[in-house]
Structures are given as C-alpha cells and as structure tokens.
Chains A and B, each alone.
Chain A
Amino acid sequence: MEIENVVENVAFKLLKLAVIHLPEDVKQALEKAYTEETSETGKTQLKAILDNIECAEKYQTPICQDTGTIIFYVKAGAEAKHLEKIEGALIKATRRATVEVPLRPNAVNPFTQKNSGDNTGRLIPWINWEIEPTDEIELTVLPKGGGAENTCVMGMLVPGEGIRGVKKFVVDAVMNAGAKPCPPNILGVGIGGGSDIAMKIAKKALLRPLNNENPNPEIAKLEKEILEAVNMTGIGPMGLGGKTTVLSISIDYAYRHPASYPAAVAFNCWAARRATARISADGTVEYLTHRVDEVI
C-alpha cells in the first residue's frame, strides 16, 4: 500500500480511537479520583463521567459532543519515504473522520464566522513536526475541546521571582478557570523559551501519560507540590465543590532569555483525548496508547 494510504488509515483510526476511548491512564486517574473524592456532589459528577465513558465505548459514540480542534504531532523519521505526502493524508483522514465517526465540525473562519463543515481550513488541522533519525513515522492526535482551551493562559512573568512566580501563575489560572474547563482537569505547564515556545511545550506536555513521572526528580517534586496546592481550592469536579480539581500536572521547560520569564498553562478537560501509533518502514502499525481490541 502507498504510504499516504497507510498514514490516512492510521490517522483516521487514531481520531476515532481518541474521541471514543480515553487512554487507560486517564480512566484510571478518574476512577481513583472517584474512590478518593469526599464531596458527595463531587462523587456524583465523577460517577456520571465514568458512566459516560463506559457508554461511549459501548455505543461507539464520541465521549463528548465537542470533539475539539484537531491537532497532530508527527515524528517523522528522516529516512522514511514520501514525507511530503503526510500532510495531505492527515487532512483527508480528518475529513473522513468528520463524516464517519462522526466528529462535530469545529473549524470556523474567524472573519466570516463560516464553519467549513469538515474540521479543516487554513492551518487546521494543525500539524507539529519533529524530525527523528529513524525510518519510522509516529503519529499522535490531540483533539482539543473548546471549553478547556478557553482557559489556557500565557504570561510573561518577572524573572526575579523565578519558580515562585510560576507557582502563583498556575494557582491563579486554576482559580480563574473555576468550573469553565470541565474539571477535573489535566494541566500542561510550559516554562521559558519565549511566549510561543512556552505554550507549545505546555500543550505538548499534555501528551505525557498521567502515570509517568517526570524524569527530572526536581520537576516531579514541583508538579506534586503544585498539584496538591491547586486541589486545596475546593473547586472540585465541574466546579461544584470537592477535592478533585486537577488530576495531574505535567511541566516542561526551555532555556529562557535573561530578561524574560515566559510561562504557559494549557488546560485539558477530563475528556483528555489522545492517541498515538507508530508506522514502520515496512508498513506495520503499532498502536501505543490503546489496546489492540479497541482498534477497529
């Protein structure tokens, strides 16, 4: 089969998998939250979330009606053939998934307010590229819901305040977001780089499985510290009160300019959808975020 067909098929399957089946680590975190939540109202919300996830799998329907803006991450092996065909294949897969899954058409022209109807348009789906020294292609899809996107923030902090400024920035972001991003949330935090770089790495940090510790022990400690702090707000599931406001925080960083201290917080909702697959040079496909029996 031509590489573009393989990529299109895999991308279509990833889109379908992502919007119907949450990754195991997200489900486990929600189940744990349900067991540990002490607010009865919070428990009611988490129970409804878990029931809804089960129904989505049973009826093969998207977990949430907002199937998001479609974002791809591509790790392209420098030795893989026909990389120039990947973009077209991803656009085709998005159009097909919109009709067949179906996905809600979520791509609107910001000038005319017209919805393209097929989840594509100028620069959408958005594709992040990385070149790797292999002959494989790794595809990840992140369908990003609007509610949680609306509470993402980026700030140019005061360099003199250092990490303390970041802690305050994240706590304030969660407080200001309140019920809006459909808590419990997952936060990606990006520090340094520049204004665009901070948000880019914050969003990419959302791809880290929730049960994977940060490889840097100092940052792992910081993630835990901020997680405990934001869960003291009492905002809780759906903002109705409880101790589960954020399920997990994932921090990444880049070196910064001496005069700047950019920081960004990317919110993901409980419907934290993502799916990844690797395509080898011989065309074999391995799904990395989902079980084989979920792939249909």
Chain B
Amino acid sequence: MTDYRFRTPISEEEIRKLRVNDVLYISGTMFTARDQAHRRALEYFKQGKSLPLNLEGLAAFHCGPIVKKTKDMWTIIAAGPTTSTRMEIFEDEFIKNFKVRVIIGKGGMGRRTTEAMASYGAVYGAFTGGAAILAAKAVRNVKSVEWLDLGMPEAMWILEVEEFGPLTIAIDSHGNNLFMNVQRKAEENKKRIYQKLGLSQ
C-alpha cells in the first residue's frame, strides 16, 4: 500500500505503477460524468464530433453534484460519488476511445471495465461513499460546465482539484479488482460463518 500524488494529464506509464490498495490523490483537471454524459460522449465519438474537452489523461468522476450559482460563479456544495455499476455498460468504450486514466466512484465496477483498464491503462479509484464534503473541499473551482441541458446532476462539470482523495485503487491496470477479490473471499468465508451459526448450506 503506497500513497501516490498525480497531476493531470496522467500518462499511461504513471498509471501502470499503481496497484490495488494503493492510495491516490489527484490534482489538476477532473470532470463529472454519469449515465447521460457517458452516453452522449460515446455518441459524439461515433459521429466523429469532437468533445468540449480533450479527456486524455484526465479523471472521470461518477458524481451528480449539488452546485450553487452566485452571479456568474458556480460553487460545488456537495460532490459525493454515485454508484459506479450503472456506468459499466459504457465504461470500456469510454476508456478505449478517450484514454481517461482514472475513473472515480463508489461500489466498484465489473469485468468489462477491469479488462479495458488492463488493455488501455486506467485505474478505478474508490472514493468513500457519502463523504461529500471531503470531495467538495478538494475542488478549487468549477472551470466550466458542459451539456447542462442534461440537468445539474447529469451535466459534465469540469473541475480544478487539489489533492482530491483519498482514492483507494480498487481496480488497477494489471487485471486486479479489489471488490471482486473481497466478494470472492466473502463467498469463501460463508461456509465458516454458517458453521459458526450452526447452519447447513
């Protein structure tokens, strides 16, 4: 378990240093993307349209923030992670096409994402579920907002962050998936647990 501090854009070489259980803090540019933003970005790619921002080397955050507008300024009030599994159907294509290096969320992701991360060099950083103020505190400012027509939570918020974390590396670029390991071990422990409680399978 090692602590890393990376600044965006992050290179493939850097990202491949990370292993599951490592802790990462990110500084630089990050953007939020939930279901709708993923869908639209992939549609744009298919149509050969360019995105509002070059995503290469950046971190995508599964988050629908609460944002307040005062005059012309946006301020992030709360920005906890949302459940990542909803983005599983998009994420492999997203990583492949846009070369984002870090996906941030809660609850982990599945086999397709894990394989894409190994092939193209990306990691999944788990941010503590519910820790919305810690996240908001690391946001220095809102650089811009794109696709606001999708609604506040679904829009793409482009954020300048400083030491955003701690992110526990739960999927690395070497095929390891911490959530799956934990789940597998829990299944193995089940027998002992049943025994302790005097239950049969």
Contact = CB atoms under 8 A, between A and B. Distances in A.
A44 B168 contact: yes
Interface in A31-90: 40-41, 44-45, 47-49, 51-52, 55-56, 59, 61-66
Interface residues of A, number: 49
A45 B168 contact: yes
Interface of B: 1, 21, 23, 65-66, 77-80, 83, 106-108, 126, 128-134, 136-137, 166, 168, 170, 178-179, 181-183, 185-187, 189-190, 192-194, 196-199
A180 B189 contact: no
Nearest to B84: A179
B184 to A, nearest CB: 10
Contacts, number: 141
Interface string A146-176: 0100000000000000001001100100010
A240 B132 contact: no
A41 B79 CA distance: 22
Contacts of A232: 189, 192-193, 196
Contacts of B190: 171, 175, 233
Contacts of B134: 48, 51-52, 55
Nearest to A178: B183
A62 B131 contact: no
Interchain residue pairs A-B with the least CB separation, the first 4: A65-B78, A182-B129, A64-B130, A48-B128
Interface in A205-245: 225-226, 228-230, 232-241
Interface in A182-215: 182
A157 to B, nearest CB: 13
B182 A241 contact: yes
Nearest to A167: B197
